[in-house]
Amino acid sequence: MTARRLWWAALIAAAVALVATGAPSWVALAAGLVIALVGKQGAPPKPLVTYSLQLGVVALGAAMNLDDVLHTGADGALITAASLAIAIGLGLGLGRLLRIGGDTPLLVSVGTAICGGSAIAAVASVIRPKDEELSISLALVFVLNAIALVAFPPIGHALGLSEPVFGRWAALAIHDTSSVVGAGLAYGSTALAIATTTKLARALWIVPLTVAVAIMRGRSRGGSLRGVKWPWFIGGYLALAALVTWVPAIAAHAGVIAIAGRRALLVALLLIGASLSPAALAKLGPRPLALALVLWLAIAAAALPLASWVG
C-alpha cells in the first residue's frame, strides 16, 4: 500500500472513530493535525471540508428552540446584541492593531461573539479562509472555552453573583453552548435555565451575521450583489430550528439530528486539521493567541455589567 493510501486509510479510520465515540471537538482537530504532520501526503479536497461544515451547521439547528429564544425578552435581546457588537468591533480593531492579516481576526471575533466553533464553521463556509487561519481560530476558541468552563463558577462565587446574573454572564462570555450549560449547571438550577435560554438567543445571531458577511465579502469582490456567495445552508439551519420548535413529529427526533450535526462537525474538524502543514502553522506566530486572549478577557469584563444591568 502506498503512503498516500495509508494516509487516507488513517484519515478514514479516525473519522469513523470520532463519529462512533462523539469525542470532544479539540480531539478531532488534534487528530487531523497529527495525521497531517506525520503523513505529509497532501490535503483532503476542499469541497469535502466545506460540505461537512455546512451539513453540521444545518443539523445543529435541531438544537435551537425558537420559543425559548423568544422568552429571553427585550432586555435579553438587547444585551446579546450589545455583546455581539462589542466583540466583533473590538476583535477586528485588535486584529488591525496587531497587524494580523487574512481572515483570522474575523473568525476569532465571530467565534468569541456567538457560539464558538459553530459560528466559525458557518462563516468559514462563506469566506473560504486559508486552512491555517481556520484551524488556529478553532484551536484558540476551543482552548479558551475549556478554561472558561472551569474558571467561571469559582469567579462567580468570589464576586458574589446571583444565579440569574451569573447565568446571563456565562451565556454572553463563554464561547460554546455545551460549556455554557456546564458552567450554569455547576452554579445552580436558576443559573442553568437563564444561561441556556440566553445562549440560544445569542446563537441565533449566526443567521444574520453569516448573511451579512456573505454580502460584504461578495460586494468587496464583485462590486454588487452578483458577487455574493449566498449562505443557503443558513436557511436550512433556521428552517430546521423552526420545524423542531413547532412540528411535534420532527421535534421527537431533534436530539438525534443535533447529534448527527455534531458528528458532521467532528469530521469537518478532522479534515481541517489534516489540511495543515508545519510551515503554514509557523507563519501565524503568537499574535493570534494575543488577539483571542485579549478579546475574550475584554468581552468577559464587558458582559458582567451588562448581565448585572438586566438583573
Please check the confidence at residue 222 and state whether its pLDDT lies above 60: no
Provide the terminal-to-terminal Cα distance of the chain, rounded to the nearest Å: 64
pLDDT recorded at residue 74: 60
All residues at 6 or more sequence positions from 122 whose CB lies less than 8 Å from its CB, including other chains: 53, 57, 206, 210, 231, 233, 234, 237
- Structure-derived torsion over alpha carbons of residues 87, 261, 169, 149, reported in degrees to the nearest 10: -110
pLDDT for 167: 93
Question: Which tens digits make up the pLDDT trace of 128-155?
Answer: 888 888 888 998 888 888 889 889 999 9
Report the pLDDT value the prediction gives residue 226, as an integer from 0 to 100. Answer: 62
Look-up: residue for cell 450554569?
A: 184
DSSP 8-state secondary structure symbol assigned to residue 286: S
> Cα(136)–Cα(269) distance, rounded to whole angstroms?
11
Q: List pLDDT tens digits, range 15-68.
A: 999 999 988 888 888 898 888 878 666 678 878 888 888 888 888 888 888 887
Better pLDDT: 258 or 311 = 258
Q: 121 or 68: which carries more pLDDT confidence? A: 121
244: exposed, middle or buried (Cβ count in 10 Å: 0-12, 13-18, 19+): buried
* Between 283 and 233, the higher pLDDT residue: 233
Mean pLDDT of 97-118: 91
Give the per-residue pLDDT at 4. Answer: 77
Q: How confident is the model at residue 284 (pLDDT cuts 50, 70, 90)?
A: low
Quote the CA–CA distance of 291 and 280 in Å, as a whole number: 19
Three cell numbers at 304? 458582567
pLDDT band for 98, please (50, 70, 90 cuts): very high
pLDDT over threshold 60, residue 224? no
**pLDDT at residue 280 above 70?**
no
Higher pLDDT, 149 or 76: 149
Does residue 297 carry a pLDDT above 90? Answer: yes
pLDDT of residue 108: 95
- Give the residue, 172 or 78, on which the prediction is more confident: 172
Average pLDDT, the chain: 86
Burial 120-134 (b: 16+ CB within 10 A, else e): bbbbbbbbebbbbbb
What's the rounded Cα separation, in Å, for the pair 204 and 65?
10
Q: What is the pLDDT of residue 42?
A: 67
